[in-house]
Amino acid sequence: MTIDKSLVRKGDREQTLLNKLLSYAKDYRSSYDEGGKVKPPEIPINIDEYLALGVQIANMSKAERESLDFMLEKLKLPKK
Cα–Cα distance, 25 to 80 (Å, whole number): 27
Cα–Cα distance, 22 to 35 (Å, whole number): 23
The residue with greater pLDDT, 69 or 6, is: 69
Contact 58, 47 (CB under 8 A): no
pLDDT digits (tens, 9 = 90+) for 25-51: 666 555 556 666 666 767 777 888 889
Using the predicted structure, report yes or no on whether residue 68 has a pLDDT greater than 70: yes
In the chain, what are the domain boundaries? 45-80
CA end-to-end span of the chain:
57
Using the predicted structure, report yes or no on whether residue 21 has a pLDDT greater than 80: no
Cα–Cα distance, 25 to 17 (Å, whole number): 12
Residue-averaged pLDDT of the chain: 77
Nearest in space to 48 (alpha carbons), one of 56, 36, 58, 39: 56
Would you state the pLDDT for residue 15?
75
